Amino acid sequence: MPTEAEEPTTQLWLPLVDRLVLLIGAPALGVGLGLLLPPVADWVEGLPWMPMRGPFELVASFEGRWVGAALAGVGLLAGLLLVVIAFATSLRVTLSDSRLSVQLDDTTRVIERAAVDAVFMDGKKLVVLDRESRQLVRDTIEERRADVARAFTAHGYPWAEADPYAELYRRWVPDAPEVPAAVNALLKVREVALRKKAAGDTAELRAEVEKLGYAVRDESARQYWRPLVRS
């Protein structure tokens, strides 16, 4: 019987095609824009009515073949930086029969298989629930739904085609009488964080709401709540 270190694993991340497009396309686009900028700048310089001409006039003021080469180099670096950012900010999930690890930005979470009660997709978000229906994971994943389902099923995780508790969710409105005052207060603060697109704050406040016995999911800036359910 294989040990934990020898267990076969499956990784869900950016699909191979997407990675190739980023690796080739982003640097190539950066180089192309860098090469095109000098002639575009010369053209814009001759249009006195064009707004925001300053940056173009600056580029046009330089002379010599080195200008295009330098700007192409800057474009190449910008394209490579875009690739690094895209790779670093894409959810990476590594599955084995006994656990899964979830890596996003510089944070890695390890979740034991025994703690998982349901796995499903909510739009583009991967959701993993524990045995009290807490959301251990709710993050956007770039892999196709079918590939995600196949990977989790192959490793014996309880895959669901939809949220098993979807019918329990209710739209939250300020001071909703069905939820405690403390939960209302947290959801009010979280609504502000959602509107500001403060992802870290919204995730932290979701965890605080769950500590009080409620789950919350979002649709744009709208929040929907339900009580936690023990399986």
Whether 116 and 158 have beta carbons less than 8 Å apart is answered as: yes
Quick one: pLDDT band at residue 1, thresholds 50, 70, 90? very low
- The pair of structure tokens assigned to 220 is 């744009």
| Residue 129: per-residue pLDDT | 98
Domains and CATH numbers, the chain: 16-89 (no CATH), 95-164 (3.30.720), 165-230 (no CATH)
Q: Reply yes or no on whether the pLDDT at 9 is more than 90.
A: yes
Give the integer Cα–Cα distance in Å for 159 and 120: 6
Percentage of residues in the chain with pLDDT exceeding 90?
75
pLDDT digits (tens, 9 = 90+) for 159-179: 999 999 999 999 999 999 999
68 or 172: whose pLDDT is higher?
172
CA dihedral of residues 22, 96, 119, 143 (deg, nearest 10): 10
Percentage of residues in the chain with pLDDT exceeding 70?
96
Mean pLDDT across the chain, nearest whole number?
A: 91
Sheet holding 135-140, edge to edge: 116-122, 125-130, 135-140
For residue 212, give the DSSP letter: T
Mean pLDDT of 2-31: 88
Give the integer Cα–Cα distance in Å for 58 and 45: 9
| Residue 106: per-residue pLDDT | 84
User: Helical H runs in the chain?
Assistant: 16-45, 54-61, 66-88, 145-154, 181-195, 199-211
Residue appearing with tokens 């707004």: 51
Give the integer Cα–Cα distance in Å for 183 and 8: 42
Mean pLDDT of 138-147: 95
Give the integer Cα–Cα distance in Å for 187 and 117: 26
Which range, of 17-21, 52-56, 71-75, 156-160, averages the lowest pLDDT?
52-56
Q: Reply yes or no on whether the pLDDT at 3 is more than 70.
A: no
| Residue 63: per-residue pLDDT | 76
| Residue 4: per-residue pLDDT | 57
Q: What angle do CA 170, 172, 178 make, to 5 degrees?
A: 75
Count Cβ atoms below 10 Å from residue 74 Cβ, excluding itself: 15
| Residue 6: per-residue pLDDT | 72
DSSP string, 136-194: EEEEE--S-HHHHHHHHHHTT--B-SS-TTGGG-EE--TT-TTS-HHHHHHHHHHHHHH
| Residue 5: per-residue pLDDT | 60
